[in-house]
Structure 1
Amino acid sequence: MAFGGFMSAPVCLIENDEKGKLHVKKEAKDILDGINQPVVVVSVVGLYRTGKSYLMNRLAGKQSGFALGSTIESKTKGIWMWCVPHPKKEGHTLVLLDTEGLGDIEKGDAKHDTWIFCLAVLLSSTLVYNSLGVIDNMALEKLHYVTELTENIRVKAEVGQHEDESADFMRVFPSFVWAVRDFTLELKRGDKVITSDEYLEGALKLKSGSSRETEQYNLPRRCLRHFFAVRKCFVFPRPAGTQNMRRMEQLTEKELDSEFLEQANTFCNYVYNNSEPKTVTGGRAVTGTALGNLAEVYVEAIRSGNVPCLENAVMSLAKIQNVRAEDEALQLYMTEILSMAELPMCPEKLSDIHKIAEKKSIEVFITMSFNDNDQIYQKELMAKIHNEYQDMCQQNYEASRMQCEEVQRDVFDKMEKSFSNGLYFKPGGYRQYRDTLTELTNDYRARTRTQIMSEEVLSTYLREKEKLGNMILQADESLSAAEQENEVQRLKNEILEQRKKGLEEQNRLQEQTFKDMQRTHQEHVNQIVSQMEREQERIRRDNDRVLDAKLKEREALLQQGFQEEAARMQREIDSLKGDMNKQETSQRSTVSQVVDGIGTAASLFLPGFVPKLAGFGLSLISRLF
């Protein structure tokens, strides 16, 4: 299935292989590889036969797509994926993940369900939990997978004595939406009408006490409150009668319950407007390509019997992404410059083509690269673009040289034949030679005035003829000794003047090239600083989201009489504020290091340009760097 116009139907992303182990399907991975946009990933999880797939079809803007089983059999196996254009965020792709129904008794593999739930959490930016009836203790007990997250997911590679581990999870975990289906109660607490969000938060209130039963009661509630900074709830009435429920895919909107339809539209708009692009540690937005690689990294960890670790996954993902980013950026540069450059051409035009190709190349690299914190891959790309441009300039010089030499042979052919015939070796022959040389030189310059190697080729030719010119001069008996001496000096001066013109021409080319390299340096700095600023803004938003959640949790604990836990939460808040201040200081320092690092890289490889030309322009390096 080609991705070009986005997917017409879902495909399986992760399934069990013949050995009962999870693996990522190649077809889905190939589709994700073709998506270089940031992705907003929405996963739906829940017990089987609770109508999960219908909500995902609504989000895709389709009547059908994800399978809606009409029997007690669980239709969705593994995790299925549907990529569609994001209806609200231009330049983003909405990736919908429909997971296998949890708790299917025929499956008989609770650990498999746990991994499906964990993968949904790890891959999504919004997690929709779908359940039937009401949010009560039984419903929360069925959500026991959330209590196992800390056992099955690690944020950091090294486990330390970090008091506020929940903040680490909050930064990287998705927002949480509880969709309660077939809800028949009134949203009231006593006589007061409440919102669905207040209904959810009320269901998550903790019980006081330290008995085993109380701890068991509080555990799933604490996990939801501590892991998911953003929580939202929607309650849906039954969409249609029992008979019609069996043919949901065929029902028109007129056949659906109007209240259900209104709530479904509200749910979709909330997800469209509030679901953030998927990010990983460090605030890096994930593209489709990165999401596919991330899925493979997590699944491979599970297959190997390890606990998926976000920090390790980011390191693995960085290497995969950065190698590919560098390759694709360089390939784009080469394709662009080769498609536009018709050699020979003036240096300014080649420079403009280089500038366009380079800008596109760097944009591709910045978009695809991942946590290139020390700019290792970016510096490599700088050097490779530099070398490719260097080679292109050299090819341009050689193409110009060849054309100039061809013109030179054609123009000076008349004089070469006169040399062969001995026409100039007679009295008055030197003046005839000088007049012919001046005439042909002017003709040559007129025909090569747009060529960058015109003076260099002419200089080489005249140096070659210097000895022959002196021989003609010495053989001309019509000239006095004084006249011959003056002509010898004049001939030397002209050769030196011509050589000077050739050198000036080469230095102008060098100057242009080094200006290009300086601009390359600045373009890389601008792009990386811009990217880091975007990441820093995401980190700030993540920190603010976590801090806001912690403050609300502290207030809730105080209101519910959990003074000790509220005090602990205040310590976490103070620690988080301190970490945020340190982060901002570190970020400013990092930007400065990046600029210095790229500048150092540029100064190291720029001198390499000199030998390929004529050995001139060394002084330019010190002026630029």
Structure 2
Amino acid sequence: MAVLSICGPYRSGKSYFISRVLGSPGAFRLGHSMQACTRGIWMATTVLECPDFAVVFLDTEGIDAVGASETMAMSLLTLTTLLSSFLIYNSKKCGESESVRVKKGFFPHFLWLLRDVSLKMTDREGKELAPTQFLHTRVFASESGELTDLGKSLVSLFPSLECATLPIPSTKRDIIRGIVEQQDKLKPAFNAAVDALIQQVLQKVAPKTAIDGTTTVTGKALAALARSYVEAVNRPGALPDLDQGWQAVVRLELKEVSYKLVREYEREMEAALVGNLPMEERYFLRIHEKTLNRKKSVLREEICRVNPLHSSHEEVQPLLDQLEQDIATWSEPSDNGGRKVTGGPLYCFTIRNFTASRKHSEILFNYLVKDSKVMQKFENAVRKSVSLDVESDIKGIEVKYHTRAIGPAASEVLERGLSELNQLSETLKRIPSAPRNVQVIGKGSDRIKLSWDTPEQNPDAVEEYVAYKRIEGEEWEEAERTENTRVLVKGLESCTKYELCVLATNSHIVSLMQSGVDAATKATVADGALNGALACLPGVGVILTAAGKLKPTQQEPLPADSRNTNRDCRIDKAARLAAIPLCLPALIFLAPLAPVGAVVCAVGAVGNQVGDLTEE
């Protein structure tokens, strides 16, 4: 990017000329009073496109403007000079050169534009000189022909120092005031001189370079330079540090380069890993290192390009380390010297590889377990309550897994899977068989007492026995738990038949349920009294039977006009009345014996209850 700037005394036509160079006479605002129109530094909103670069135009506040301090004028001139690649100093008299003050540093090409020149430029002998010769021999040289201090400074600091002149545009004041709108009324000599000067300027304008003289300044770099220089000139007594200002630009540009390189790293890693995950960690890190080294090489080249004066190993290495840190953050080395990725794009790719490895490893392990049929052996062992040793099967699964598992999660999945299999294997080695010889050793109206022998297989593995109960046709429910080989099952219903069984358990597994025992509870006192009373009243059944015979008999239907209907009904009623005298003697004879039977049965029930208490 080239920066074409113009500066000089106010009311000297700076804004008009640079607008003409831009190709738009009204690009910058023109003033027609004693007050300065341009304040500070203005940049044109359009650029001039050249084949290899673009030209930015700057118009500055005039030197010695009304209300402007000398410090501000010099600061603006210094800032404009430092930012420009081609600087035009616009004035109407050569004597105004004494107002020019520049600071040591890197400077643009310098063109001194003299306005409203009507006289010839000659040497001391009257020989006509070109404007540039006049500048060097008359303005910057003393009577003896030697350069003045100002001339020496300008010649040594600016790459080129030239001079050009423009004649007066018009002698009419109204045309000068409306110079933009009345350009066709300007003197032809003035327009021709302006056009020729524009061509001369555009041929010599070149991109802005850095302090090293070789690096081209970009638009963002120009903005960073402007910010740095403005901060410097706004500090009282401070001078812009050109090297520090440029280093700020370099840091900004290299930061953008690093950001782009990180994005390129992500794209290249994505292309290398897609469809290839999971992969072993050593291959994964090898791809990372190759990609990272390519990005480091690009950054090293960019450093040499934008900052050749600071491209030694000591100055470049911190930037390369920062790029590596932006791509991957590592933990501190562990006791075994290993490190883990904790941040950056590499961490994201590491997580993806680990996740893919874990999924692949889990599928592989489950397949090998299923293929070995070890789970079927486990199920059969549980079904038959027999111990099982599957160490050889587990070892076979481990060997096959090692030959086919891939990625960083393989060891973790194998360790977890083998732990579960070994734990199940150890459990199956301690399966207790069912308790033996379950039998009833006592019972009452609401309880039954059971005893049994310890299991034949792994009796020492039994931690607890659990008794279950159910009434025939209903679901099993837990009744009691004990660590002994006998238990009293309580809370039963009297005079009820139950199925009972006992299981041996530990914290890992339960034995199979063997065939239980059947047992019925005894009667209560109330049950005995009722049963005795009913037993002593067999006549009740006779009475009920007789009562049943008193019901109307079922007869075949007769014709509607039958004459025997009334006679049959009279015979049936007579039979009912005749049955009543036959039942009364039985009731009178058996009724006194009912209390005796109830007492006898009640005594028996009390004896059962006492027996229950004795058994407990």
- Per-residue CA deviations over 1:448-486 (Å, capped at 9, x if unaligned) read 9xx766977887689779979999xx9xxxxxxxxxxxx
The answer on whether the counterparts of 2:41 and 2:58 sit within 8 Å (CA) in structure 1 is yes
Q: 1:404 maps to which residue? A: 360
One-letter identity of the residue aligned with 1:395: I
C-alpha separation in 2, matches of 1:262 and 1:456: 86
2:4 aligned with 1:42: yes
C-alpha separation in 2, matches of 1:207 and 1:323: 45
1:226-305 pair list within 5 angstroms? 226-239=156-169, 242=172, 243-251=174-182, 257-283=187-213, 284-305=215-236
2:72 aligned with 1:112: yes
Q: 2:136 maps to which residue? A: 201
One-letter identity of the residue aligned with 2:95: E
Q: 1:581 maps to which residue? A: none
- Per-residue CA deviations over 1:111-151 (Å, capped at 9, x if unaligned) read 3323322222232222201123xxxxxx23312133x43xx
C-alpha separation in 2, matches of 1:125 and 1:109: 26
Q: 1:308 maps to which residue? A: 239
Structure with bigger helix share is 1
- Per-residue CA deviations over 1:161-209 (Å, capped at 9, x if unaligned) read xxxxxxxx5xx22221012223334577789775443343343363345
Aligned with 2:26 (options 45, 58, 64): 64
The answer on whether the counterparts of 1:125 and 1:174 sit within 8 Å (CA) in structure 2 is yes
Q: 2:97 maps to which residue? A: 143
C-alpha separation in 1, matches of 2:128 and 2:27: 37
1:90-105 pair list within 5 angstroms? 90=52, 92-104=53-65
2:131 aligned with 1:177: no
* 3-state SS in 1 of match to 2:44: strand
One-letter identity of the residue aligned with 2:207: P
C-alpha separation in 2, matches of 1:406 and 1:434: 16
Give the deviation of 1:44 after TM superposition. 0.9
Structure 2 residues without counterparts, runs of 5 or longer = 277-283, 330-343, 430-616
Structure 1 residues without counterparts, runs of 5 or longer = 1-38, 133-138, 156-168, 475-625
Q: 1:54 maps to which residue? A: 16
- Per-residue CA deviations over 1:51-88 (Å, capped at 9, x if unaligned) read 11122223434332221113343211112123655522
The answer on whether the counterparts of 1:86 and 1:272 sit within 8 Å (CA) in structure 2 is no
* 3-state SS in 2 of match to 1:130: strand
2:320 aligned with 1:379: yes
C-alpha separation in 1, matches of 2:186 and 2:60: 25
One-letter identity of the residue aligned with 2:226: A
- Per-residue CA deviations over 1:409-430 (Å, capped at 9, x if unaligned) read 563463487426527989xx98
Change (3 A) 1:431 1:379: closer
Change (3 A) 1:111 1:440: closer
2:321 aligned with 1:391: no
| Greater mean alpha carbon deviation, residues 354-363 or residues 110-119 | 354-363
Change (3 A) 1:296 1:389: closer
The answer on whether the counterparts of 2:88 and 2:110 sit within 8 Å (CA) in structure 1 is yes
The answer on whether the counterparts of 1:179 and 1:236 sit within 8 Å (CA) in structure 2 is yes
* 3-state SS in 1 of match to 2:180: helix
The answer on whether the counterparts of 1:322 and 1:370 sit within 8 Å (CA) in structure 2 is no
Give the deviation of 1:287 after TM superposition. 3.5
* 3-state SS in 2 of match to 1:249: coil
The answer on whether the counterparts of 1:328 and 1:365 sit within 8 Å (CA) in structure 2 is no
The answer on whether the counterparts of 1:79 and 1:97 sit within 8 Å (CA) in structure 2 is yes
Change (3 A) 1:376 1:265: farther
- Per-residue CA deviations over 1:28-70 (Å, capped at 9, x if unaligned) read xxxxxxxxxxx42222111111111122223434332221113
Q: 1:123 maps to which residue? A: 83
The answer on whether the counterparts of 1:329 and 1:362 sit within 8 Å (CA) in structure 2 is no
When normalised by structure 2's length, the TM-score is 0.51
Change (3 A) 1:95 1:83: farther
Higher relative contact order (CA 8 A, sep 6+): 1
Give the deviation of 1:100 after TM superposition. 0.8
C-alpha separation in 1, matches of 2:119 and 2:264: 63
Change (3 A) 1:341 1:225: closer
One-letter identity of the residue aligned with 2:17: L
Give the deviation of 1:230 after TM superposition. 0.7
Change (3 A) 1:353 1:239: farther
* 3-state SS in 1 of match to 2:112: strand
1:608-619 pair list within 5 angstroms? none
The answer on whether the counterparts of 2:296 and 2:320 sit within 8 Å (CA) in structure 1 is no
The answer on whether the counterparts of 1:84 and 1:93 sit within 8 Å (CA) in structure 2 is no
C-alpha separation in 1, matches of 2:249 and 2:372: 61
Change (3 A) 1:338 1:131: same
Change (3 A) 1:276 1:435: same
The answer on whether the counterparts of 1:401 and 1:457 sit within 8 Å (CA) in structure 2 is no
* 3-state SS in 2 of match to 1:315: helix
- Per-residue CA deviations over 1:476-531 (Å, capped at 9, x if unaligned) read xxxxxxxxxxxxxxxxxxxxxxxxxxxxxxxxxxxxxxxxxxxxxxxxxxxxxxxx
C-alpha separation in 2, matches of 1:143 and 1:187: 16
